[in-house]
Amino acid sequence: MSKPKVAPVVWLPVVGLAWLLPGGGHLLLKKHARGLLLMGAVVIAYLAGLMMRGALFSPQTGDLFTTLIYTGGFIGNLASGILYLLTVWLGYAQPDVAGHVHDYGTKFLVGAGLMNVLAIVDAYELAVGKKS
């Protein structure tokens, strides 16, 4: 027998806060240790990417490969929530330059967003009662 559906009013604030503030959804659900651990992991990865002068993606069109890479990278950056929004608002605009360190920085910036996506899914599952 399946569980009854949980109303969006229960999980939507958790998911919204989890996106905006990494670990925030867990803090709202009183899972403080997990929330702080996730917040620390995402923030450290994002700051490491910035310190390595990684580039932020913006959606571009062209051939299919270019569209997938740049749109996917943009979604990965945007998934970092307030970290990405503050970075753009404060004018960070590192061009995509050749070099190992810059390339790793770009990957760290996208990786931080992808870690936050996993944290958002975890917060959602906690909010709807799929896990404890």
Q: 98 lies in a domain?
A: yes
Q: 1 lies in a domain?
A: no
pTM above 0.75, yes or no: yes
Amino acid letter for position 103: D
Place of tokens 């330059």: 97
Span 51-69, pLDDT tens digits: 999 999 999 888 999 999 9
Residue 21's nearest CA partner among 118, 126, 116, 105 is 116
Q: 18 lies in a domain?
A: yes
Q: How many domains does the chain have?
A: 1
Query: Which pLDDT band holds residue 2 (cuts at 50, 70, 90)?
Result: low
